[in-house]
Amino acid sequence: MAGYKHILVGLDLSEESSQVLDRAAQLASDSGASMSLAHIIEPLTFAYGGDIPMDLSEVQEQLQNQAKEQLRKAAQNLNIPAEQQHVLLGQPATEIHRLAEESACDLIVIGSHGRHGLALLLGSTANGVLHGAGCDVLAVRVHHPEE
């Protein structure tokens, strides 16, 4: 079986993101694949239902700038070029699918928090990515520091 050629790593930029990135970097190293990183920010109008009578564009811009800087720092250690670092605005699963297709990725690596019960039934970003992907998906089980 041939190895992967281009791995897209979806990061939520939490403390546990390093676990996902480490696993993806190992896979990329083992198969000689290139890596792209993505962080998706939901528009604040989505997050708050759009009923807030205030302009959130400045807050949105600050969130995007902070995410770009965090992604840049994560990519720096792995020598991932700027053009393969993506901070996008939209629905996470949809944007990851679109980016994976546009970038000809053959593997998507995301973190999974291992939700159970009602949270699992309601779905998660990982579940959404898995069910609509046109390529392989690896959900890395992340462990919280207190586990």
pLDDT for 21-60, tens place per residue? 999 999 999 999 999 999 999 887 655 555 656 667 788 8
Tens digits of residue pLDDT in 80-91: 999 999 999 999
In CATH terms, is domain 6-141 a member of 3.40.50.620? yes
Q: What is the pLDDT of residue 124?
A: 76
Contacts of 48 (CB under 8 A, 6+ apart): 56
Q: How much of the chain, in percent, has pLDDT values that exceed 70? A: 82
Residue spans of the domains in the chain: they are 6-141
63, 41 in Cβ contact below 8 A? Answer: yes
127: which residues sit within 8 A by CB, 6+ positions away? Answer: 120
The mean per-residue pLDDT over the stretch 95-103 comes to: 97
Instruction: Answer for the pair 87, 73: CB distance below 8 angstroms, yes or no.
Output: no
Give the pLDDT confidence score for residue 128 in this predicted structure: 87
- pLDDT (mean) for 69-79: 94
pLDDT of residue 109: 96
Q: What is the pTM of this model?
A: 0.85
Please state, in angstroms and rounded to a whole number, the distance separating the CA atoms of residues 147 and 135.
31
* Cα-to-chain-centroid distance, residue 24: 12
Burial letters for 14-39: b for 16+ Cβ neighbours within 10 Å, e otherwise? eebbebbbebbbebbeeeebebbbbb
